[in-house]
Amino acid sequence: MQTLLDGLTASEVRTPRLTAHVVERRGDGPTVVLVHGNVSSSLFFQPLMLGLPAGLRALAVDLRGFGDSERLPVDATRGLRDYADDVASVLDTLGTGPVHLLGWSMGGGVVLQVLLDRPDLVASLTLESPVSPYGFGGTTADGRILNGGAGTGGGGANPAFVAALSAGDRTDAEPTSPRTVYRTTYVKHPERIPNEDLWVESMLTTATGEDHYPGDATAADAWPGFGPGSRGVLNTMTPDHLELTAVVDARQKPPILWVHGADDVIVSDGSFFDLNLLGSIGAIPGWPGADVAPPQPMVSQTRAVLDRYRDAGGRVTELLVPDCGHSPHLEEPAAFTAALLAHIGG
């Protein structure tokens, strides 16, 4: 099928770090750079790019191991820095100067890391349904790591879903097929959103394995018996590898727009991808209880860190989108675009 929508172009950008696939909506005005999340690619951003006003330049970068970028291994001990450094290398190669960075889900953590390491590249940040600044899973409300991070990382992926990605499954025959996962977790009302085949194709570009998605795992004495590994996608977001709260003390504090859906089941205070939450509802046996393994309050953690960012002199705008899941830019494109343009002054 045709995956590039009319009005957009694609190119390979060769940088000192990798060859990255970049989708572009050309314009001679300010540049908006879009960074996708886990099990997705630049393809998910195409309607948003096409809906921006004429003159704005939009670039969507495929992260390593996703889309058509190089399938380079991911060193998870660096948190999200492999991805952030790759994005910075693309912008340096293209000579963009400061840009308006937008990160969705895992990409929200990537753009925060860019701010920490390369503030010269950041004019503003938009965080769409972002991973918590404390990582994904295994922390208390104030970010304290529980049980050495047991239950987080590559061991938490559903093997049947990984196998379906590897096999290129385009059906909806199983609960673990990419199409079914898209319908049940990426968005709240899939029947309202066109181009479903395109979103599935985007998911299927995900490289799988220990160096990619989901990554490796280690044995743990604590429930549920595994802990963070050192390689691959999910281990970049374990609480022992990812800690982004240093943005509060960043000397440069660009304005931040935080957009999230009220009914997100991936990033929420009760995420169905958090093994502690699944244990608490009996979906995984042996849960040791809320005193030992409480669900992670992801949204509350993000709000607390952004409140501190505001208190330290930064400007933060929050848009909570009702009746919306993990993908506001697809589910409520008019509201999302209006908020983005108000944020960047477009």
Q: Kindly list the domain boundaries of the chain, sorted by start residue.
A: 9-141+242-344
CATH 3.65.10.10 fits domain 9-141+242-344: no
Residues paired with residue 127 on neighbouring β-strands, in sequence order: 103, 258
Phi and psi torsions of 227, nearest 5°: -140, -175
pLDDT at 2: 87
Full pLDDT tens readout for the chain, 346 residues: 889 999 999 999 999 999 999 999 999 999 999 999 999 999 999 999 999 999 999 999 999 999 999 999 999 999 999 999 999 999 999 999 999 999 999 999 999 999 999 999 999 999 999 999 999 999 999 999 999 999 999 999 999 999 999 999 999 999 999 999 999 999 999 999 999 999 999 999 999 999 999 999 999 999 999 999 999 999 999 999 999 999 999 999 999 999 999 999 999 999 999 999 999 999 999 999 999 999 999 999 999 999 999 999 999 999 999 999 999 999 999 999 999 999 998 5
For residues 147, 152, 158, 163, the Cα torsion angle rounded to the nearest 10 degrees is -130
pLDDT at 346: 55
Q: Are 47 and 15 in contact (CB under 8 A)?
A: no
Q: Which two tokens stand for residue 12?
A: 């390979």
pTM of the prediction?
A: 0.98
- Cα 31-33-34 angle, rounded to 5 deg: 145
pLDDT at 208: 98
pLDDT at 232: 98
Cα(99)–Cα(81) distance, integer angstroms: 18
pLDDT at 23: 98
Q: What three-state secondary structure class fits 177?
A: coil
